[in-house]
């Protein structure tokens, strides 16, 4: 699997209207093969070290950090209250305080969490077999859209920002994957993506993806 680390991330497409409204909104993605297995000791130790770096005051400090602040500003711009729907790093930091440490939940979950904590930029994963060749992008929902795209999928209110391709709505932006679109124990390929907003340097978005890819190559 080490040869996959050199894969190049691709830029996702952005709906034209959104690009005009948010010129620095972006999505990067990469697809690679990965088995679903227990997290190796190396990653569990890395999570432990990251856990030791977080204390109660750090949750408040995240809001003042340039990257954390940028996501909070963008959340408000798209109608999300960041004190209710928390940006990814704030949510992870709160979970660490509640649990006492960052919990290891498996190879993929640990890789996603390490990338988030080390860069402040979230990375999400989809079952690559459900992502079309053009890759995911960001668009606004229209009447009739459903999460996951199937008739059983949850209806989505028009005007929401989602991660989608030509066929499916894979996730609400900054939210979990639609049921059935998340990687499972049978998944052999994953599509990872990260989201950039104004105030977040592109290099941090790229770094988050590569930290995740590198972590998935462990063990």
CATH level 3 topology of 2-216? Phenylalanyl-tRNA Synthetase; Chain B, domain 3 (3.50.40)
User: 56-96, pLDDT tens digit by residue?
Assistant: 666 678 888 999 999 999 999 999 999 999 999 999 988 88
* Helices 88-99 + 56-64 axis angle, to 10: 170
Residue with tokens 């939210």: 175
In angstroms, the CA 167 to CA 170 distance is 9
Residue 195 pLDDT class (50, 70, 90 cuts): very high
Give the pLDDT of residue 184.
87
Residue 4 pLDDT class (50, 70, 90 cuts): very low
In angstroms, the CA 124 to CA 163 distance is 10
Across the chain, mean pLDDT equals: 89
Q: Any idea what DSSP says for residue 23? A: T
User: 127-181, pLDDT tens digit by residue?
Assistant: 999 999 899 999 999 999 999 967 778 999 999 999 999 999 999 999 999 999 9
Give the pLDDT of residue 56.
62
Residue 2 pLDDT class (50, 70, 90 cuts): very low
In angstroms, the CA 58 to CA 94 distance is 9
In angstroms, the CA 91 to CA 4 distance is 30
HEC assignment per residue over 140-186: ECCCCCECCCCCCCCECCCCCEEEECCCCEEEECCCCECCCCCCCCC
Residue 1 pLDDT class (50, 70, 90 cuts): very low
Residue 100 pLDDT class (50, 70, 90 cuts): confident
Buried b (16+ CB within 10 A) or exposed e, 89-104: bbebbeebeeeeebeb
Range with the poorest average pLDDT among 6-15, 186-195, 204-213: 6-15
Check residue 168 and give left, alpha or beta (phi > 0: left; psi -120 to 50: alpha): beta
* Domain ranges for the chain: 2-216
- Give pTM, 2 decimals: 0.91
**Contact (Cβ atoms closer than 8 angstroms) between residue 27 and residue 136:** yes
């Amino acid at each position: 699997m080490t040869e996959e680390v050199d894969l190049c991330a691709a830029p996702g497409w952005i709906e034209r209207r959104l690009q005009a409204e948010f010129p620095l909104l972006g999505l990067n993605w990469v697809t690679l093969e990965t088995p679903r297995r227990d997290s190796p000791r190396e990653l569990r130790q890395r999570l432990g070290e990251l856990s030791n770096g977080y204390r109660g005051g750090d949750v408040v400090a995240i809001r003042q950090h340039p990257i954390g602040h940028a996501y909070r500003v963008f959340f408000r711009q798209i109608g999300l209250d960041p004190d209710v729907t928390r940006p990814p790093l704030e949510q992870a930091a709160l979970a660490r305080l509640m649990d006492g440490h960052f919990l290891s939940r498996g190879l993929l979950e640990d890789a996603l969490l390490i990338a988030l904590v080390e860069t402040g930029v979230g990375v999400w994963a989809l079952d690559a077999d459900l992502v079309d060749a053009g890759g995911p992008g960001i668009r606004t929902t229209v009447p009739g859209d459903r999460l996951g795209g199937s008739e059983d999928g949850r209806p989505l209110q028009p005007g929401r920002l989602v991660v989608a391709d030509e066929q499916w709505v894979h996730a609400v932006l900054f939210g979990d994957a639609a049921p059935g679109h998340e990687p499972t124990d049978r998944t052999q390929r994953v599509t990872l993506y990260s989201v950039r907003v104004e105030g977040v340097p592109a290099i941090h978005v790229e770094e988050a993806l590569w930290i995740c890819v590198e972590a998935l190559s462990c063990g």
